[in-house]
Amino acid sequence: MNGLVSLIGAGPGNPELLTLLGKRRLEEADVIVYDRLVNPAMLAPYAAEKIDVGKLPLHHKVSQYQINDMLVDLSKAGKRVARLKAGDPYVFGRGGEEGQYLSKNKIPFEVVPGLTSAIAGLAAAGIPITHRDFASSFHVITGHRKSNGKELDWENIAHQEGTIVFLMGMAQLPTITQELMAHGMADTTPVAVVQWATHWKQRAVSSDLANIVKLVEETKITSPALIVVGGVVQLMGDLQPHQPLQGLHLLIPYKQDSKLCNALQDEGAAVNFFDRRVKRPLAFDLPDFNAGGTLIVIDFAAFHYFQERLLTMGIDNRALTNWKLVACNHIVKYRLQQDGLLADELYDPQKLDYQRPVVFIGEKTALTSYKPAIKADYLATYQSETVDQSIDLNAFHGIVFPSSAAVADLYTGCTSDEQELMRHMRCFAMGQTVADECQKRGLQNVIEVKPSYDNVIQTVRKVFAR
């Protein structure tokens, strides 16, 4: 049975501009086939196999014909395929051609519309595509020509009322401006160019038809960019957003529904993720609950696996009635409380009573640093394995570390060259313990922040304001 192919619009760039149906289809997908302009942060939450078929200008590492065949072959193998395309799949994205090919080969498919950059990208730069005082219509035109070389109808385009948007037209910008003026459009007509709309590196400039090419060259704006022509461009100065962290690109550890990510993005920052270590559950024996004693929780993940084991044996937290529950630190104490358990105290090796059983619960490697001279039992409920990080650290202004484990996860997953880059990057450590771990790893530009999202935001603002 053939699998469903979903032609999904990823929107203009910001991961939160993906539609709800698009998000659900990505969650359900076995394979995600994605384009170059899809933001990597959008792909981070999904476990599906990911295939990059991105096309650079004048260079297609995977041809459109190969992409078409790939979608058919994957579907025939019974895979659910998410074909993720920037913007809207049917707005100059060749989604229509892919749909035709799927239909011809009797492959079930659907279209999940996305926000086209022709509209959303302009809005991000403060340009409404229509406005009662300036434009009651708009026209979206591709700057690319087909291989037959057929010219655009410049006489018609130059005399259109309303807003004109050119997509994929940066290489043709001199031609576009010359042709519009040659066919009667006033050289004083406002023009704007918006690069990387809704991404962290978004930039926008405006001028008029006569001078926009010179300005673009001076400011070194290149593709991908939108070209917008018309009176609405005059509104850019009034409507362009100016959020406190706008233009910053920050790296944080991946966490589903991350509140840290939401807090930073609400202030205008763009956020991307690094992977956490993979946790592999281990087999372990449970202690004698009747004996009672002290249960020391090194990290909450370890306790989670411990609880899962209890439940599989028909036991719940009531079995811990005779045990003192000790949290290794304040974070573990807080997580236990969220789970309905109050820690009796924080870990202090000098206060342990070895007259009764003492059991440490933690990750296999981490437990080795807790072994005292006096005998105790060590319950390794899982083992964490390093994940290789495929991240260009040069693309980020700073890293936010909420925990010491996150520091270790990123550092150990990086190559030696990447580790050298990390040593000089701004690293915001949420708390003294996290800052100590950063120093231990040799990071030299560590900024300690009191562990709250508000403090992170205020500190980031102050640091980058300087």
**Of 268, 229, 182, nearest to 457 (Cα)?**
268
Assess if residue 426 is contained within a domain. yes
The reported pLDDT for the residue numbered 383 is 94
Work out the pLDDT band at 56, boundaries 50, 70, 90: low
Q: Distance between CA 121 and CA 225 in Å, rounded? A: 9
Q: Distance between CA 273 and CA 40 in Å, rounded? A: 9
Are 261 and 221 found together in one domain? Answer: no
Q: Is the pLDDT of residue 398 over 60?
A: yes
CATH number at residue 65: 3.40.1010.10
Work out the pLDDT band at 291, boundaries 50, 70, 90: confident
The reported pLDDT for the residue numbered 32 is 97
Rounded mean pLDDT, 128-141? 95
The reported pLDDT for the residue numbered 151 is 80
Active site residue 371: no
Give the domain-ending residue among 114, 137, 152.
114
pTM of the predicted model as reported, rounded to 2 decimal places: 0.82
The predicted-structure confidence for 218-251, as pLDDT tens digits, reads as follows 999 999 999 999 999 999 999 998 899 999 999 9
Assess if residue 305 is contained within a domain. yes
Residue type, 168: M
Rounded mean pLDDT, 13-29? 96
Assess if residue 51 is contained within a domain. yes
Active site residue 168: yes
Q: Is the pLDDT of residue 457 over 70?
A: yes
Are 99 and 220 found together in one domain? Answer: no
Are the CB atoms for 349 and 336 separated by under 8 Å?
no
Are 447 and 368 found together in one domain? Answer: no
Q: Is the pLDDT of residue 55 over 80?
A: no
Q: Which residue has the higher pLDDT, 424 or 375?
A: 424
Are 163 and 271 found together in one domain? Answer: no
Are 158 and 216 found together in one domain? Answer: yes
**Of 232, 245, 237, nearest to 204 (Cα)?**
237
The reported pLDDT for the residue numbered 134 is 95
Assess if residue 78 is contained within a domain. yes
Please tell me the total count of domains within the chain.
Answer: 4
Are 393 and 421 found together in one domain? Answer: yes
Rounded mean pLDDT, 432-444? 94
Are 395 and 272 found together in one domain? Answer: yes
Domain span including residue 444: 249-277+387-465
Among 44-58, 410-424, 441-455, the least confident range: 44-58
Are 394 and 265 found together in one domain? Answer: yes
Helix pair 453-465, 259-266: axis angle to 10 deg = 40
Are 79 and 143 found together in one domain? Answer: no
Give the domain-ending residue among 114, 149, 165.
114
289 backbone φψ class: left, alpha, beta (φ>0; ψ -120 to 50):
alpha
Active site residue 35: yes
Are the CB atoms for 21 and 112 separated by under 8 Å?
yes
**Would you call the peptide bond into 224 cis, given omega within 30 degrees of 0 as the criterion?**
yes
pLDDT, the chain, mean: 92
The reported pLDDT for the residue numbered 149 is 58
Q: Active-site residue among 35, 88, 299, 409?
A: 35
Assess if residue 136 is contained within a domain. yes
Residues 59-76 as b/e (b if ≥16 CB within 10 A, e otherwise) read eeeeeeeebbebbbebbe
Are 105 and 9 found together in one domain? Answer: yes
- Looking only at the bridges linking them, the beta strands covering 377-385 and 190-195 are unpaired
Among 127-131, 209-213, 336-340, the least confident range: 336-340
The reported pLDDT for the residue numbered 138 is 96
Rounded mean pLDDT, 135-144? 90
Q: Distance between CA 116 and CA 112 in Å, rounded? A: 12
The separation between CA 5 and the C-alpha centre of its own chain, rounded to angstroms, equals 23
The reported pLDDT for the residue numbered 147 is 45
Helix pair 300-312, 330-338: axis angle to 10 deg = 40
Assess if residue 244 is contained within a domain. no
Assess if residue 82 is contained within a domain. yes
Q: Is the pLDDT of residue 441 over 90?
A: yes
Are 265 and 397 found together in one domain? Answer: yes
Q: Active-site residue among 42, 79, 85, 168?
A: 168
Give the domain-ending residue among 369, 385, 401.
385
CATH number at residue 180: 3.30.950.10
Assess if residue 317 is contained within a domain. yes
The reported pLDDT for the residue numbered 58 is 53
Rounded mean pLDDT, 269-285? 93
Are 264 and 399 found together in one domain? Answer: yes
Q: Active-site residue among 23, 50, 55, 255?
A: 55
